[in-house]
A and B are shown apart, each in its own frame.
Chain A
């Protein structure tokens, strides 16, 4: 903690205001009388502190980061550079359309690119994150049924492997959820789906490739079954990277899709955002898209608002979503071009299948060994956990010692002791081979010196954390010593 370095009266003049600001117009009872408890450190101490913190990070810029379902691929620096052009960065969001034509042209192009690559009829960029995109998607499903007076539809179907956000979004929109089981081959249980469908079905939320890392083969059949029952199909864009430019959700029969630009279109991940979760829809859902969107009449760009879209579900963010993130995604899409998008899908699936094959040869069990992987795959360490008493978390922690960010662990929940591994298209063969060697080494350690693995990590700034105690005795706020 930077507070640990604090000494009374020490100052970092570079960070101090030049002059004491005048406080005017603030009611006296709202002006604080005691000083806030701020760390008092020198400029160099502050620099060292934050530099050290940054060095403790695992990041895609420093480490192999095969975190399944998160698509931790390389973010080209050019996206950042171009999105930071002064004309884009300094544009005021309330600037008139006539002064914003360049920016609006970028957003309009991005809408068109996303439409084309997903096969949807129209796209809105305004949701400020994937979760908000999901909310918008389900809200549009609701608006569609409501507009038709079809108000008996109370249920959204979700597969048991789904991301937790899917049922959460459905519930946020006032729906009940019903779980559909996954079959032993990784495909959704179509017979169970058939039984679950009915006049109460508002829709189904799917990802394809699914959360277990395989392509849902009977998707066309599923789409017509759901449509026949009067429901709509929602596509969670979590795994779009695997099919970019190859198969389009619109062609599979989906009515609405959200895209996680931070996954597939290489915008910054995590840290609480900012995010972008554009939504695309089929023709019948177009009237409900969230505003604003950008329209182009062949000459000028203009904002489409509530006036143009009277049945819109409304606004989800101030202005048009997170402009800087959308611009980065736009640059990324333009850098790739049509050919590049195909290559993303080809190399992300090639890398995943190569890694899966090599890890199986090294003695690891695939959760769905008879299936070809998509851009990610699942190993199950059930055997190691049972025979050696070394579980998936132990393997994951030991990987940190070898300089690899662990893959996703214990998700999806239906596969016991699982690792969800997504190498992405960014990695070269040597990196993948290196990872296989690390896994092979940890496996040998688990067999010969299990305690070495069970007590890992050994080289990290903090050792194995007591995550149970941390969750039971929450201690989130720093308590300063007087």
Chain B
């Protein structure tokens, strides 16, 4: 039974992106991604005001095993970051889809969301990778 939330979209590089309905999109990494990485020890977030390209690397999550880039699923501008992760990166391990969100963007082209996976598509991708 999958726990992948159906209220958002997914990138093949294991980020989730949720339309908050107020013009902002929230981005984080999936529960599957945090599980692969293991216990996170450091998170490097983008800066508010930074402009992002779809598919460009914009953040880093580091575990005792590896440091991985996080890619923005859409183009746009960073309007908020989750400061609470600084000093508590384990929040992503504990609640990747909720309190472990990483940053919010104002998208420059909402149609970019259409190219992303839905929950079912993402689950299929994960199953295929395993």
Contact = CB atoms under 8 A, between A and B. Distances in A.
Interface string A402-413: 000000001001
A468 B89 CA distance: 11
A462 interface: no
B64 interface: yes
By secondary structure, the A interface counts as helix
Contacts of B66: 410, 413
B114 to A, nearest CB: 23
Nearest to B36: A416
A471 B42 contact: yes
A410 B105 CA distance: 33
A354 to B, nearest CB: 30
Interface in B10-61: 39, 41-42
Contacts of A481: none
By secondary structure, the B interface counts as loop
Nearest to A467: B64
Interface string B90-122: 100000000000000000000000000000000
B41 A471 contact: yes
A467 B38 CA distance: 12
Contacts of B65: 410
B99 to A, nearest CB: 17
A24 B85 CA distance: 52
B76 to A, nearest CB: 20
Contacts of A468: 39, 41, 64
Interface size class of B (residues with CB under 8 A): under 10
A413 B67 CA distance: 10
Contacts of B64: 467-468, 471
A87 to B, nearest CB: 47
Nearest to B38: A468
Interface in A434-482: 467-468, 471-472
A413 B65 CA distance: 9
Contacts of B89: 472
A354 B42 CA distance: 41
B49 to A, nearest CB: 22
Contacts of B39: 468
Nearest to A391: B38
A471 B90 CA distance: 12
Interface in A329-354: none
B107 to A, nearest CB: 23
A410 B64 CA distance: 10
Contacts of B41: 468, 471-472
A221 B128 CA distance: 31
A23 B41 CA distance: 47
Contacts of A471: 41-42, 64
A175 B89 CA distance: 30
Interface string A392-425: 0000000000000000001001000000000000
Nearest to A382: B130
Nearest to A471: B41
A163 to B, nearest CB: 13
A467 B66 CA distance: 13
A32 to B, nearest CB: 35
Interface string A14-50: 0000000000000000000000000000000000000
Contacts of B90: 472
A468 B41 CA distance: 7
Nearest to A411: B66
A472 B86 CA distance: 11
A410 B39 CA distance: 14
A471 B42 CA distance: 8
A467 B42 CA distance: 13
Contacts of A410: 65-66
A413 B69 CA distance: 13
Interface of B: 39, 41-42, 64-66, 89-90
13 contacts: A410-B65, A410-B66, A413-B66, A467-B64, A468-B39, A468-B41, A468-B64, A471-B41, A471-B42, A471-B64, A472-B41, A472-B89, A472-B90
Q: Which 8 residue pairs of A and B lie closest in terms of their CB atoms, listed nearest first?
A: A471-B41, A468-B39, A467-B64, A410-B65, A472-B41, A413-B66, A468-B64, A471-B64
Given A468-B41, A471-B41, A471-B64, 10 more contacts: A410-B65, A410-B66, A413-B66, A467-B64, A468-B39, A468-B64, A471-B42, A472-B41, A472-B89, A472-B90
